Amino acid sequence: MIRSPLGLALLSLTLTACSPADPQQQVSQALTDGVILPIYSAWNEADRQLAVSAQAFCADQQNLAEARQAFATAQSAWAAVQPVLLGPLAEGNRAWQVQFWPDKKNLVARQVEALLNKKSVLSAADLEKSSVVVQGLTAYEYLLFDATLDLSNTEQKARYCPLLVAIGEHQQDLAADVLASWQSDDGMAAQLKTFPNARYAEAPEAVAELLRTQVSAIDGLKKKLGTPMGRQSKGQPQPYQAEAWRSKASLTNLAASLASAERIWLGAEQNGIQALLSADQAELKQRINAAFSDTRQRLAAAPRPLGELLGDEAGRAELNALYDSLNTLHRLHEADLAKTLGIQLGFNAHDGD
C-alpha cells in the first residue's frame, strides 16, 4: 500500500499524539489538576469567606466565635498551601503578606497599635501602603485572639474593625490574584503541564521543583515545631515563638500542611510523586508511607495545644517524638527520595535559619 508523504506525516503526528506521555509529565499534570489547583482554590474561597466574615462581624451580623471560626478556616487553608508554595505566591514578597512568622519581637502587636494610633480611620488603600507585618493573618489573629483586646467591647471594636475589614479585603484580593495567575493561559498550571515553556524546558525540571518545594515545606514544619520547643535556644522553650500561639492552632496548622504534603506524595489518584518509583523501589515507598502515617497519627493524638505541651515534661516528650518523626520524614525526602529520582535539591529556603 503506497502512502503519500503528507499521509505519512499525519500518521506520525497521530501516533505521537497517542503515545504515552513521559511519566514525569504525567505526574506533574496529575498533581497540578488533582492536588495543587484544588488547594489554591480552597485557599481563595476561605479568604473570600474571611472578608465576608470581617464585614459581617463589624456590622454586628456575626458574633466573635463565628468570626474566629472563619479565621481558623482561612488559617488552615493557608497552612495547606505551604507544600505547594511555588510560582506567583513564592515571588514578590507575597507569602509575607499572608503570614508574618516568626515574630521574635512582637512586631505584630506593636505595629498594629502604631498604625492605628497614627491613622484611626483606616482604609484598604492605607493597608496596601503599610508593612507586611500588619497585612496578614498574624495581625488578624492578634485582633481576634489577643488577651489584651476585647472586641465584644463597643469602643475597642470600633477602633480595630477598620483594620480587620481591610486585612480581610487584602487577603481576598491577594488569593484571587494568585489563583488567577495560576489559571491564566500561560500561568503556572499550564507551565506544569505542557513542555517546554518559559519556566521549564522539560518535565523533570518541574518535578524537581515540586520536590524541592515539598522538602522545604517539611523542613519548615520542623522549624515551626522546633523554634517554640527551644531547639535553637539551648532547650529553653519559647512558647510565644510558636506559629498561631494566640489562637492555639499551631498543631492544627502543622496537620493541615502535612496533609497537603502527603497529597503531593500520593496524588489524588495514586498518581503523585510516589508513582515515579519503580517496583524495585517499593521499600522506599513503604518507608515514606510509614513516615507520613507516623507523623500524622502523632499530630492527631496530641491531647493539648502546643503551648500547654511545652509546660510539662510529658508534653515536651511528646513534642520531641513528633519532631523526630518529622525529621525522619524530611530526611527520607531530602536524601533517599531525591537521590533515587536523580534530583539535585540545591538551596533550601530555610537554610541558615
Task: Give 37-77 pLDDT, tens digit per residue.
Answer: 999 999 999 999 999 999 999 999 999 999 999 999 999 99
What's the pTM value of the predicted model, to 2 decimals? 0.91
DSSP 271: -
Contact 222, 328 (CB under 8 A): no
Each residue of 174-205: b (16+ CB within 10 Å) or e?
bbeebbebbeeeebbbbbbbebeeebbeebbb
Residues 212 and 334 sit within 8 Å (Cβ to Cβ) = no
Q: Enter the CATH code of domain 21-191.
A: 1.20.1420.20
The vertex-314 CA angle with 312 and 316, nearest 5°, equals 70
- The reported pLDDT for the residue numbered 347 is 54
What residues have CB less than 8 Å from 333, skipping those under 6 apart? 211, 214, 215, 218, 288
pLDDT of residue 15: 40
Q: Which residue has the higher pLDDT, 120 or 209?
A: 209
Distance CA 202, CA 302 (A): 43
SS (H, E, C) 12-26: HHHHHHHCCCCHHHH
Nearest to 215 by CA among 273, 270, 255: 273
Q: Where are the alpha helices (DSSP H) in 64-202?
A: 64-81, 94-98, 107-118, 124-128, 137-145, 154-183, 188-191
